[in-house]
Amino acid sequence: MKVRCGIALLSIAVCAALLAPAAGAAPALKRCDLGAKRALRCGTLTVPASRSDPSLGTTRIGFAVRPRSDRRRPSLGTIFATDGGPGYASTAAPYVRSLSAVLAPLLRRRELVFVDARGTGRSEVVDCPPLQRGLIQEPIAVAECAAQLGPRHATYTTAETADDLDAVRAALGVGRMYFYGDSYATLLGQAYAARYPERLRGLILDSAYPGDDPYYRTLLPAGVRSLGIACRRSPSCRGDAAGRLGRVVRRFHAAGRPTDPLIAFLLGAGTLAPRSYLSLDDGLRRFLRGDPRRLNRLIAPGLPGHGDLAEFSYGLEIAVECNDYPLLWDARAPIGERIRQLGAAAQRLPAGHFAPFGRREYLLSRAAHLTNCLTWPAPPAAGLEPPVPPGWKAPRSFPTLILAGELDDVTSPIEARQVGARFPRSRLYVVPNRGHASSIYYPFRSPAVVAIRRFLRQN
């Protein structure tokens, strides 16, 4: 018997019950207000905490469904979405509102499902208060967070999250789906494609990166380059902006002043590009003229901590990074040996690679975020499944849209091209004069939105 299951407000549970695997009941969905223009239906699904170790019990995965508005005609497909970070909640109001605006013209005949990655939002959020609130030194807080999580600390991986995503798909009775992921969630999208390619109708990777370089060596050069581009394109900016940055860094060195705040601002500038780069250059010019106030305000540290746990879990970010991301040391080595290997890793790159900063200055800075896992426990003896198997190539059974902001230094255009090499049936769109995930930050103005809508209409 054929069953037509358009995801309508009152028919979701019935369709899911008919189409979901026999192993589990369809999730109950309840009306929920996530700050969007219309109410959604929220639910949870219980899944194994570890597919390879049943002794670790289960965990709950939260999600929200936005039914299509036109229920008189058949559905044109279901779009699943997960926010990046790692650590951001996909059911948080800002993300729900923003992505709903990006996809607005398409949602009359398409369902949209927001899935919180395990450990975020409604998916049993990882709450390590000293780490989340910045109450103690971070290396100690990281170790304490792992101890708090116990054996489950190794279950927060992209591979498990990809399996969670497919479990939600199956429970809702969706056949082949579209997946949209931004930033870290582009790695999740790649992990899902590597495991479940037959379940995809299309894949959108917004601000994509491959997650295979322990140095993240393209990011700082992308920031310096983007600073120069932003200046050249602005009528209010003159001269060599990258040169001004170098002169300021040298003055910081001469004064014994730490450069970590400068690195932090530069590495985050790709989010609100090009305005953020122009603000930095304005501060640099004033500093060089003898007025440091503007630059000092820009790079001043913010409030301690990492914000609202309901929107972002820093404990989850650390867990995924430490379990999944390549490191500059052997994760099975004792901490003293890890530190030695980290120092040696800094010497393996060309001396000027992170100019105007030194190799060690950059790699060991807090801002580069490359030393956070020094106190994380060693992986289990059996190892952890990598997000994307080495050498994996996608089949040609589904199309992929890869987006990269031209001025992005959070995930760089070079990284997006590297991701494209994994997907033979892909198209890369470099969003002109924009930065990181501009579709989410500027859903009414970014050219990326037009590209996303066109891709979904054509596929």
Better pLDDT: 258 or 4: 258
- High-pLDDT (> 90) share of the chain, %: 92
CATH fold of 23-214+386-458 reads Rossmann fold (3.40.50)
Judged against a pLDDT cut of 80, whether residue 12 lies above it is answered with no
pLDDT tens digit sequence for 220-267: 999 999 999 999 999 999 999 999 999 999 999 999 999 999 999 999
Judged against a pLDDT cut of 50, whether residue 13 lies above it is answered with no
Q: Give mean pLDDT, residues 414-430.
A: 98
- High-pLDDT (> 70) share of the chain, %: 95
Can you give the residue ranges of every domain in the chain? 23-214+386-458
Q: How far apart are CA 167 and CA 327, in angstroms?
A: 30
Among 16-30, 66-80, 146-160, 174-188, which stretch is predicted with the lowest mean pLDDT? Answer: 16-30
Predicted pLDDT of residue 21: 38
Predicted pLDDT of residue 359: 96
pLDDT tens digit sequence for 352-380: 999 999 999 999 999 999 999 999 999 99
Q: Give mean pLDDT, residues 68-87.
A: 96
Q: Is 70 exposed, middle or buried (0-12, 13-18, 19+ CB in 10 A)?
A: middle
Q: How far apart are CA 353 and CA 243, in angstroms?
A: 15
pLDDT tens digit sequence for 279-324: 999 999 999 999 999 999 999 998 889 999 999 999 999 999 999 9
Q: How confident is the model at residue 110 (pLDDT cuts 50, 70, 90)?
A: very high
> What tokens were used for 153?
């600390």
Predicted pLDDT of residue 6: 33
What phi, psi does 22 have (nearest 5°)?
-65, -15
- Quickly list DSSP for 47-73: EES-TT-GGG-EEEEEEEEE--S--SS
Among 16-30, 102-116, 184-198, 279-293, which stretch is predicted with the lowest mean pLDDT? Answer: 16-30
Predicted pLDDT of residue 39: 84
Judged against a pLDDT cut of 90, whether residue 350 lies above it is answered with yes
pLDDT tens digit sequence for 36-77: 888 899 999 999 999 999 999 999 999 999 999 999 999 999
Q: What sections of 108-218 are H helices per DSSP? A: 129-132, 138-149, 158-171, 184-195
Predicted pLDDT of residue 25: 61
> What's the mean pLDDT when you consider all of the chain?
93
Q: How confident is the model at residue 26 (pLDDT cuts 50, 70, 90)?
A: confident
What phi, psi does 45 have (nearest 5°)?
-135, 135
Judged against a pLDDT cut of 80, whether residue 200 lies above it is answered with yes
> What tokens were used for 192?
């899902």
- Quickly list DSSP for 260-329: HHHHHHHHHTTTTTTHHHHHHHHHHHHHHTT--HHHHHHHS---SS---TTTB-HHHHHHHHHHHS--SS
Q: Give mean pLDDT, residues 159-174.
A: 98
Q: Give mean pLDDT, residues 185-204.
A: 98
CB 202 within 8 A of CB 184: no
CA end-to-end span of the chain: 27
**Secondary structure (3-state) at 44:** strand
> What tokens were used for 13?
């549970």
Judged against a pLDDT cut of 70, whether residue 8 lies above it is answered with no
Q: Residue 102 contacts by C-beta under 8 Å, 6 or more apart in sequence?
A: 439, 440, 443, 449, 452, 453
Q: Would you give the distance in Å from CA 231 to the centre of its chain?
A: 28
